[in-house]
Structure 1
Amino acid sequence: MESILNNRPALAAEVEKAAEVAGYLWQKGWAERNGGNITLNITEFVDDEIRNMPAISNVLSIGTCLPYLKGCYFYCKGTQKRMRDLARRPMENGAVIRILDDCASYVIIADQPVMPTSELPSHLSVHNYLIEHGSPYKASLHTHPIELIAMSHHPRFLKDDVAGTLLWSMIPETKAFCPRGLGIIPYELPGSVKLADATISKLADYDVVMWEKHGVFAVDTDIMSAFDQVDVLNKSALIYVAAKNMGFEPEGMTETQMKEMTEAFNLPK
């Protein structure tokens, strides 16, 4: 069967980036079994031939109306699919979907009728928010970085900006490459409307949010950039854990040093 990616190098490149990131997530131990999700807004790569492609699924309900997604197309990791498999065969472990004109339903159009992640309504709600606010972000990532999740088990790090400021202070690159820090969302049932609403609320101030005792959710211009933000934050968490394992509380960069860097690199204050 011919793939939707054939003769579409720009679209293929985006899906290949998703496959590459999926491999990194598995290698890092951040994507056990079918854990984690990737969703890409690929509308800009859609041509007339794709728009005319027939559905290969029944009409499926999103469960909510998302008016800014009318006519949009997304590549989504499949439900119960493993990241390690998506890394090798992205179109067998993911699917392209079309949002219908009612903005409350969708159909699968390629390559196979792989049902999207069960958390699709949450991911699509975030993309609806991003489009509504004119964001250039097209990719969303949910994954389970070990050290960041471990930090979320301590009440100290569940207060606003405590964990984010600490992580910034571990190594200068963290603030340079994740300048909006880490938002914290108290525990909510995975996949719930409450969790989706809380995530959207936090995205006004953060590009990466921690779901307490669960994982992180990140958005960026593409999936590699979203992964990079999580990777940088978890590197700082690893440095913090390494220092604690050596028997001391790491000093971290001072407020003066972080302010100096913020000004030198013209980062958000």
Structure 2
Amino acid sequence: MSILNNNPALAKQVAEVAEVAGYLWQKGWAERNGGNITVNITDVVNDEIRALKPISDVMQIGTTLPHLKGCYFFCKGTNKRMRDLARFPMDNGSVIRILDDCASYEIVAEQLVLPTSELPAHLSMHNYLVGIGSNYKAALHTHPIDLVAMTHNPAFLKKDVLSKLLWSMIPETRAFCPKGLGIIPYKLPSSVELAEATVKELETYDVVMWEKHGVCSVSENILEAFDMVDTLSKSAQIYMTAKNMGFEPTGMADHLMHELKVAFNLPG
């Protein structure tokens, strides 16, 4: 029997993960097994799940995360494809429990599927979010073609240059991604160094670019995390479309973006 059967709140969150996984595949942002999703499901875990015995050995995270003691996460599996996660989420993901040492975890359901290889980065983000009392529960990593392409231009890697450019392409980007886009210079995927750098950027931004790699976003649920990346991607497409038409887009002037900030009471 699936752990989702008697837990509609958890079933809803897993269904949202599957929905977003399908979007990522359709957009071409999730080649092969590319990209990852983790959701903190601790608040919807019931007694049935808490009583489950582990189906894996104890595994090391690679770092100590003091705010995650006893937390539960639904994670996309390593080497699993987003298109398969979309169709069969419980066969291509796993539920993990963080142990009391805050440095290790065990898989408790449903298949013996190892979680994402970028688990240190994802759990580090969640540890930061729990630590500051955030209501954000979802972390998304994906590979938007347009945004990754822009990180190959050194001019866009300077602080807030890309944020201001993308904000200026369409008003919705300034409104729906008000904190902009943080940039992390290239670091080895799955490394603790990448995890630490990501957490540092989350002090200022909700969406973080990993140079020549992909995007991470965090939000209250996985749909909102996806929407922020999707909005930034739309702005990147507008910029590139104008360039392909042979002209430099003018973008919205600073005073117009400030007008939006005031009208919608936006941060930044």
Partner of 2:205 in structure 1? 206
* Equivalent pair of 2:73/2:95 in contact (CA under 8 Å): yes
Give the CA deviation at 1:139: 0.4
Helix, strand or coil at the partner of 1:170: coil
Helix, strand or coil at the partner of 1:218: strand
Unaligned runs of 5+ in 1: none
Match runs of 1:10-21 below 5 Å? 10-21=9-20
Q: Distance in 1 between matches of 2:214 and 2:118?
A: 14
Q: Distance in 2 between matches of 1:253 and 1:158?
A: 20
Helix, strand or coil at the partner of 2:247: coil
Q: Distance in 2 between matches of 1:229 and 1:96?
A: 25
Percent of aligned pairs sharing the same letter: 70
Match runs of 1:174-213 below 5 Å? 174-213=173-212
Q: Distance in 1 between matches of 2:97 and 2:193?
A: 25
Name the amino acid aligned to 1:253. M
User: C-alpha offsets along residues 210-232 of structure 1, whole Å, 9 cap, x if unaligned?
Assistant: 11110001100000000000000
Partner of 2:247 in structure 1? 248
Helix, strand or coil at the partner of 2:141: strand
User: C-alpha offsets along residues 10-62 of structure 1, whole Å, 9 cap, x if unaligned?
Assistant: 10000100000000000000000000000000000011121111111111111
Name the amino acid aligned to 1:256. H
Helix, strand or coil at the partner of 1:210: strand
Q: Distance in 1 between matches of 2:215 and 2:200?
A: 15
Q: Distance in 2 between matches of 1:160 and 1:63?
A: 29
Partner of 2:221 in structure 1? 222
Q: Distance in 2 between matches of 1:128 and 1:19?
A: 24
Helix, strand or coil at the partner of 2:168: helix
* Residues 13-22 or 48-57, more deviating: 48-57
Q: Distance in 1 between matches of 2:258 and 2:61?
A: 44
Give the CA deviation at 1:188: 0.8
Unaligned runs of 5+ in 2: none
Q: Distance in 1 between matches of 2:48 and 2:118?
A: 29
TM-score by length of 1: 0.98
Q: Distance in 2 between matches of 1:240 and 1:13?
A: 36
Q: Distance in 1 between matches of 2:206 and 2:170?
A: 19
User: C-alpha offsets along residues 68-96 of structure 1, whole Å, 9 cap, x if unaligned?
Assistant: 10110000000000000000000000000
Name the amino acid aligned to 1:103. C
Give the CA deviation at 1:9: 0.8
Q: Distance in 2 between matches of 1:95 and 1:264?
A: 43
Q: Distance in 1 between matches of 2:168 and 2:266?
A: 15
Partner of 1:163 in structure 2? 162
Match runs of 1:1-269 below 5 Å? 2-269=1-268
Helix, strand or coil at the partner of 2:25: helix
Q: Distance in 2 between matches of 1:194 and 1:62?
A: 13
Q: Distance in 2 between matches of 1:246 and 1:231?
A: 22
Q: Distance in 1 between matches of 2:204 and 2:139?
A: 16
Name the amino acid aligned to 1:62. I
User: C-alpha offsets along residues 175-232 of structure 1, whole Å, 9 cap, x if unaligned?
Assistant: 1111100011111111111111111000000000111110001100000000000000
* Equivalent pair of 2:63/2:192 in contact (CA under 8 Å): no
User: Matched residue pairs, number?
Assistant: 268
TM-score by length of 2: 0.99
State the Cα RMSD in Å: 0.7
Give the CA deviation at 1:101: 1.1
Q: Distance in 2 between matches of 1:249 and 1:237?
A: 13
Q: Distance in 1 between matches of 2:145 and 2:155?
A: 18
